[in-house]
Amino acid sequence: MYVYKKTCLISDDELLKYITQLEPEMARVETTIQKQDFSTPYAWVNLPTFYEYHASCKKLIEEKKALGIDVLLLIGIGGSDAGARALYQAIHGVMGNADFKNNILLYCADTIDSGYTQELVTLVEGFLQAGKKVLINIVSKSGSTTETVINAAIFYDLLAQYRPNDARELVVVTTDEHSPLAACARHNNFSLLIVPTHVGGRYSVFSAVGLFPLGMLGIDIDAILQGAAAENNLCTQVSFDNKAAVRAALLYAHYARGIVIHDLFIFNPAWTLLGAWYRQLMAESLGKAGQGILPTVSLGTVDLHSVAQLYLGGQKNRFTTFLMSKNNISSMTIARNAFSNGIQAGGLALGTVQESIIYGVTQAYYKEHCAYMTIALQNQSLYELGVYMQSSMLEIVYLAYLMGVNPFDQPQVELYKREARAFLAL
């Protein structure tokens, strides 16, 4: 669980008004959970307790692990890879692959860019030349996203060159059962994991989209799912304990006052990609029909020396959420030497310094009348991350309801996809 505080200009009465307005939407979520209904775009709510489905993902994870995989290449973009990457980084930190305790290394192919793609090809080829086993997980709900399909073609070709005899068993396709990619997987005998039809990309982290790569990487997926499932018990009541509803109400109260920027200020470098995941979720779910909130992500403490002056001294046009973990306190103590003597920091715990900075920032926001709330995870465990992600998806769905937009489509993104395919005559 996480604790939550707010410091803003909005009264509790106003917040309660918006939370109460959410009742029909909360009832829809509740019915979806009670009936374990997978027939609407709210289906994703049930993923954390879809045990049969988890079992089928775990079965394939065990099968593929038994092949002795060294490198996992995740091919996907947007909602099809952001969640898994965020969780992997949250657990393994920004140094990620440099942690040699990880058995399987993770690389991701998303962006198409001649230089970047070539660099990745060279890297993966190096692994293959060294005799390493590379498993490719191609993830696309639609099965037709240009970047993903092109990356799949490039990297499967590479794999087949170096492993002509077992390339097929080194591929796992994750997609909708009716997509062209599913047809391709069936035709070529690639392992296939299905994303339930009504689960959309950015709400799919707890489907095979996230579970397969995370499980392959040795991450305890049950712990994440338990956290996410626990959040379902709290998200449908008109109450200040309903964190998703409170978060949505706070954001909406500011949006109604013309605040159209939401800055997620993260105090943990390992959560940078978690910030990117949230950014995509918010932007793509709410930015439509002439509405939307611009999500930005700032990273403490480095951005205090970059954008904090603007935030505190510039226009008061943003709402900030500070995201931190309560027990992020390292036991490291600052050495007493020529450097620390100058600022009398020798002997202080690093965690105390960190705490003082966070305290200083929130006090400065308060004194400069910058609206903010704080989300403090109890710790950095997988369980807490599961809670946070499920709560964020619910927050966005509730916020969309208050704003009167559909959180599940992305018509203008589809427009770019169609135009690019037409240009390539695909």
What is the dihedral sign for C-alpha 166, 172, 176, 179?
negative
Could you tell me the two tokens for 31? 């019915």
Cβ 111 to ligand PA5 shortest distance, Å: 12
Q: Confirm or reject binding of residue 236 to ligand PA5 (CB under 6 A).
A: no
Of 264, 222, 258, the residue nearest 61 (C-alpha): 222
φ/ψ bin of 204: left (φ > 0), alpha (ψ from -120 to 50), beta (otherwise): alpha
Residue with smaller CB distance to ligand PA5, 200 or 215: 200
Contact map string, positions 80 to 119, toward ligand PA5, x by CB under 6 A: x---------------------------------------
Residue with smaller CB distance to ligand PA5, 208 or 358: 208
Coil vs helix vs strand at 72: strand
Write out the binding residues for ligand PA5, residues 265-284 only, by CB under 6 A.
Answer: 284
Cβ 73 to ligand PA5 shortest distance, Å: 16
Cβ 182 to ligand PA5 shortest distance, Å: 12
Contact map string, positions 141 to 160, toward ligand PA5, x by CB under 6 A: xx--x--x------------
Phi then psi for residue 194, to 5 deg, are -95, 135
Helix (H) or strand (E) holding 108: strand 105-109
Q: Confirm or reject binding of residue 222 to ligand PA5 (CB under 6 A).
A: no
Distance CA 137, CA 209 (A): 9
Coil vs helix vs strand at 196: coil
Ordered DSSP codes for 325-349: ETT-----B---SHHHHHTT-TT-B
Q: Confirm or reject binding of residue 410 to ligand PA5 (CB under 6 A).
A: yes
Stretch that binds ligand PA5, among 77-85, 94-102, 266-274, 304-312 (CB under 6 A): 77-85
Distance CA 182, CA 416 (A): 23
Among 83, 196, 201, 275, binds ligand PA5 (CB under 6 A): 201
Residue with smaller CB distance to ligand PA5, 77 or 91: 77
Instruction: By CB under 6 A, name the binding residues for ligand PA5.
Output: 77-80, 140-142, 145, 148, 200-202, 284, 410, 413
